[in-house]
Amino acid sequence: MSIGLLLHPSSPPQIPPPTTTSTGPPSFSSTAGNHHRHILSLSETCTTISHLKQLHAYTLRTTLPDETATLFLYGRFLHLSSSSSFSDVSYTFRIFNSIQQENHTPFMWNTLIRACAHDVSRKEEAFLLYRKMLERGKSSPDKHTFPFLLKACAYIFKLSEGKQIHCQILKHGLGKDVYVNNSLIHLYASCGCLDLAKKVFDEMPERSLVSWNSMIDALVRAGEFDSALEMFRETQESFEPDGYTMQSVLSACAGLGSLSLGAWAHAFLLRKRGFEVDVLIKNSLIEMYCKCGSLRMAEQVFQTMRKRDLASWNAIILGLATHGRAEEAMACFERMVENVKPNSVTFVALLIACNHRGLVEKGRLYFDVMVRDYGIEPALEHYGCIVDLVARAGYVSEAIDMVMNMKMKPDAVIWRSLLDACCKNGASVELSEQIATHIIEDNQSSNGSSGAYVLLSRVYASANRWNDVGIVRKLMTEHGIRKEPGCSSIEINGVTHEFFAGDTSHPQTKQIYKQLRLIEEKLSSIGYSPDQSQAPLVDSSREKECSLRLHSERLAIAFGLLNLPPQTPIRVFKNLRVCNDCHEVTKLISKMFDTEIIVRDRVRFHHFKDGSCSCSDYW
């Protein structure tokens, strides 16, 4: 039988077939060894699972030289069937199970474990296989086994299993293997155990670029951006950075919100040769520039991309959204759908765009379109945006209905949006109490509920229930809960200056407040009256004095106006969500001072490691 005839017409190889020793006289080659070599070479040219199955069938009818050769060939089949281009794991299992148990080699076990580690729905099976491998007692795990197993483990964030595997690694004497250790670093970083990742890294006898990259990535994930950049500097003493390194570096710059560092990293990339600045790096650049407040540079990167993927579109839409440029974000979405199918993240970005600008109608529309036209189930994040949007606009009962109809448990962010709306819209004290209870119960041990306590005390104060106000304050003290202050930062000449609401600690405070008065006078002259409700909780005498100067971002803007040369763009970061009112007043100030002012929110402030910032917020 001719294997050439069996293969699909599109298949590349048409190697003359061998004849088997069992099916008649040889035509041009007669040894089993030749068959073996022939099948092996054919296996290298398989491009579809169908080719492989034909080759497998052919092999079953063929006599091979010995058992070792047969097992080697089956190992190859296992590997092929589970490789990313074929990825027919059930077929891999069928081949594996067709081989007698005592003939399963470590290579076969490893291949099967790898197949499971790469398959989204089979991660758990990787552990079962490992256990079986040990139980059968014929094959010992080796240096190839553990990276696969740890990958599966990291994917499902199983720390305790990971630690057990770590023990197994040591038991089998593989604690020095660089691949195994890199996988351990990745695992511990995925589980949020920076200390353990660091320990593995520090104790490694040998490190590769991947070790450094994994460690830098671990630091970025943990929000230790400065340390990540420091490690990047160290890396270069031994290795040339690659694309992975640079993506982590860009993330670190974005995390710090430092445009100067980010621009430096960009220049480094352009200067560097030897690796391609691909879509993923470009996406990181867009994200970095957006997070560092330079939408202009982000747009430039986006515009000059020859190839864009889903993430590129999402990154730019999100950037526009968080900068309060909702119309452009929506226009970008329209262009996007002509090229790429949007996903759930796209709609988060669109809802954020609406949220930042108080576009309730549009927000409702996108929420419906997402479900109806794209079949995307709303996730917690979508609810977080829409509930906040609707609630802020004063549609409290609609927001409550939404929360009640959610398929998942609302988180503290959502409850807080509701509570905030209740406070502003004079909802009943009982309702506010109920909502506050949800938040406080969900956040017993963390500081995430500080907003709820503050809001609740406001509700009681407005109802003249001063006793209850006292009780709330006492509870806060007892639970060690601090108020979460509004905080904004601005980077000037590579130095980050930070301001809190009503802050007077800056050495230039006098001039800053003078500048603020000037801004306020100018604003009043054009009839603008700042929205009092947006002011953070401060004592009432100061609130009356000047609402404008109490906002942290406005202190930062005033500082920027004082210290930057005219026409220099002013970029301010806020630890909390930038609200519609802020976008509005920023636009006015930009116009009055003929300069570009951008205030944008930061997901997390790296110096609030103790969780005192709104890390759990989506914006």
Partner DNA sequence: GTAGGGTTAG
Q: Which residues bind DNA (CB under 7 A)?
A: 40, 68-69, 71-72, 75-76, 79, 105-107, 110-111, 114, 142-144, 147-148, 151, 154, 177-180, 182-183, 186, 190, 208-211, 213-214, 217, 242-245, 247, 278, 280, 283, 287, 291, 309-311, 314-315, 318, 343-345, 348-349, 352, 379, 381-382, 603, 618-619
Q: How far is the CB of 87 from DNA (least distance, A)?
A: 13
Cβ-based nearer residue to DNA, 13 or 65: 65
Cβ-based nearer residue to DNA, 549 or 600: 600
Own/partner pairs, 201-208, CB within 8 angstroms, 24+ separation: 204/176, 204/178, 205/176, 206/176, 206/178, 207/178, 207/238, 208/178, 208/182, 208/239
DSSP calls for 408-460 = S---HHHHHHHHHHHHHTT--HHHHHHHHHHHHHHTSSSSTTHHHHHHHHHHH
Q: How far is the CB of 428 from DNA (least distance, A)?
A: 31
Cβ-based nearer residue to DNA, 370 or 557: 370
Angle between the N-to-C axes of helices 360-374 and 344-357, in degrees from 0 to 180, rounded to the nearest 10: 170
Q: How far is the CB of 600 from DNA (least distance, A)?
A: 11
Buried b / exposed e across 437-472, counting CB within 10 Å, b at 16+?
ebbbebbeeebbbbbbbbbbbbbbeeeeeeebbeeb
Cβ-based nearer residue to DNA, 277 or 429: 277
Q: How far is the CB of 424 from DNA (least distance, A)?
A: 23
Q: How far is the CB of 485 from DNA (least distance, A)?
A: 22
Cβ-based nearer residue to DNA, 151 or 362: 151
Cβ-based nearer residue to DNA, 152 or 557: 152
β-bridge mates for residue 598, sequence order: 571
Q: How far is the CB of 328 from DNA (least distance, A)?
A: 17
Q: How far is the CB of 81 from DNA (least distance, A)?
A: 12
Q: How far is the CB of 504 from DNA (least distance, A)?
A: 32
Distance from C-alpha of 23 to C-alpha of 36, rounded to nearest angstrom: 16
Instruction: Give the residue from 468, 443, 474, 442 showing the smallest Cα distance to 456.
Output: 468
* 320 Cβ contact list (under 8 Å, min separation 6): 295, 326, 328, 329, 332, 353
DSSP calls for 324-341 = T-HHHHHHHHHHHHHHS-
Cβ-based nearer residue to DNA, 132 or 479: 132
Instruction: Give the residue from 318, 458, 479, 299 showing the smallest Cα distance to 385.
Output: 318
Distance from C-alpha of 296 to C-alpha of 301, rounded to nearest angstrom: 9
Residues 182, 211: contact at Cβ < 8 Å?
A: yes
Q: How far is the CB of 277 from DNA (least distance, A)?
A: 11
Cβ-based nearer residue to DNA, 373 or 545: 373
Cβ-based nearer residue to DNA, 315 or 396: 315
Taking residue 12's Cβ as centre, other Cβ atoms within 10 Å add up to 9
